[in-house]
Structure 1
Amino acid sequence: MGFWILLLVVVGLIFSAMIGGSRIASNNRKQPKIERIGEVVDKRVDWTEGSSSKTFYITCEFENNERKEITVGDDKYGLFVVGDKIKVTSQGTWNWAERVIT
């Protein structure tokens, strides 16, 4: 009996997480895309000791001196160098970056 209750709780938690993620994605798709050109001013890696999980960040500064920290994948992290020009596209809570090659 206890096993079935635990199983229902776990399945319910997974199901509610999927619905919550779907709502966020749906809301983001409704938002306009905003593209801005900036400059990479810093890079950092965040990891928890004892874990193999790492999160890669770049900080970019825009023309109005506003700074924004963006999460990037480990495959793109090495492509960015401090001083690079960068195009940052935002849509809702989503952000992605690409190098501007001049």
Structure 2
Amino acid sequence: MGMNPIFLIFGIFFTLALLFILFQVFKNIRQWHRNNQAPRETQKATIVTKRTEVNHHMSNTNNNDTVGSSRSSTTYYATFEFQNGERLELTVKGNVYGQLAEGDNGYLTFQGTRFVAFERNRT
């Protein structure tokens, strides 16, 4: 007697999903480690753009399409341009995002791909 094809397909999808999750976790830990090893730099920069990314998450409770919950999360980004023309997009916290304005000049402090601070020029 052979294995049911539905169980085989489910097993393949489950394994692929698990591998994808493990890959993402490994990638995030690796980036965190790289950021910790990177020197903390401060450079003169201009904020050239800001953007947000909103992710919506839906979940059903009681296996009923009419009953469920939804939540969303927002990721905030700012792109900085250095005097040499290079640009760097960094994730920033929401309260920092609200204080940044496109065109602001100042000193960006960052560590790898981690935003540390932006001190605006007071002129």
TM range (shorter): 0.5 to 0.7
Quick one: structure 1 residues 27 and 45, their matched pair in 2 at CA, closer, same or farther if it must change by over 3 Å?
Answer: closer
Give the paired residue count. 86
The letter for the 1-side match of 2:101 is V
Q: Which stretch shows the higher mean deviation, 61-70 or 27-36? A: 27-36
CA contact (8 A) 2:90 2:114 kept: no
Code of the residue aligned with 2:49 in structure 1: it is D
CA RMSD for the aligned pairs?
Answer: 2.6
Q: Report runs of 4+ in structure 1 exceeding 4 Å deviation.
A: 23-27
C-alpha deviation, 1:72, in angstroms: 0.5
- 1:5 corresponds in structure 2 to none
Output the CA distance in 2 between the equivalents of 1:25 and 1:70. 14
Aligned to 2:83: 63
Q: Secondary structure at the residue paired with 1:52?
A: strand
Kept in 1: contact 2:55–2:74 (CA 8 A): yes
Q: 1:64 to 1:56 in 2, by over 3 A?
A: same
**TM-score (normalised: structure 1):** 0.66
Bigger fraction of residues in strand: 2
1:44 and 2:51 correspond? yes
- Structure 2 regions of 5+ residues with no counterpart? 1-20, 58-70
Question: TM-score of the superposition, structure 2-length normalised?
Answer: 0.56
1:84 is matched by which residue type in structure 2?
D
- d(CA) in 1 for partners of 2:112, 2:88: 14
Gaps of 5+ in 1: 1-12
Match of 2:107 in 1: 87
1:1-102 correspondence to structure 2 within 5 Å: 21=29, 25-50=32-57, 51-102=71-122
- Distance in 1 separating the partners of 2:33 and 2:77: 25
